[in-house]
Amino acid sequence: MLIDLSEILSTEGQVKDYDVISELKEFSFNGNVYVVDNVKDFHLTARNEGKRKASLKGDCVVTLKMLCDRCLDEITEDFEVDIDEMIDMAIFETDKVDEIEELDYLEDHIINMDMLLQKELMTLVPMQILCKDDCKGLCKVCGANLNHETCDCDDFVPDPRLSVFANILKG
């Protein structure tokens, strides 16, 4: 969903409420692609905060489908996204490239809400995704999911520093 802020930015003290309907289906982060299962429609308030400045406030719940990093089971998790952004259009008249790049969801006076949601989700998705804290993962030999079944595979891995002694014993 695109929101045009030109009216908000041009009128001192202007406040406008929006009912946001997200069309976000997936997003990529940290080399993973996350499927967006559901984004509940939410309310966003835009307020003029002075000369060419606007604040955006709102919150929503986004449900993501993800894979456990250890066992590859699919899990579904809800993330509460709190949007609290201050937009200063004067930044585009300066040479502060880093700050402009942070506003990639803003083009001219139009905000792409799906891109803003992605930016907020990147701060909420954990670095390691686990189906449960004590996830056992997959067997290194046969690939069985050790949370659901057991296997009789020999998972002994010899210390490579001691391989020289093993060769002596064989010869």
| 53-112 per-position pLDDT tens digit | 889 999 999 999 999 999 999 999 999 999 999 888 777 666 654 555 567 788 878 889
Bridge partners (DSSP) of residue 15 are: 47
> Would 84 be classed as within a structural domain?
yes
- pLDDT tens-digit profile of 6-53? 888 888 888 999 999 888 899 888 888 899 999 888 899 999 988 888
Same domain assignment for residues 106 and 149 = no
**What are residue 18's DSSP bridge partners?**
44
Write out the two tokens for 81: 């996204």
98 and 160 assigned to the same domain: no
Indicate if the pLDDT at residue 133 is higher than 90. yes
pLDDT at 169 over 90: no
Q: For residue 6, what pLDDT is reported?
A: 85
| Full-model pTM | 0.76
Query: Are residues 15 and 89 located together in one domain of the fold?
Result: yes
CA 105/CA 2 separation, integer angstroms: 10
Q: What is the residue range of 98's domain?
A: 2-122
The band of 163, judged by pLDDT with boundaries at 50, 70 and 90, is: confident
112 shares its domain with 160: no
C-alpha to C-alpha distance for 24 and 39, rounded to whole angstroms: 8
Q: Do 36 and 103 belong to one domain? A: yes
Residues 65 and 9 in one domain: yes
Residues 148 and 110 in one domain: no
* Per-residue confidence (pLDDT) for residue 71, from 0 to 100: 94
Largest alpha-carbon pair distance within the chain?
88
- The number of domains in the chain is 2
Among 117, 119, 79, smallest CA distance to 1 is for 117
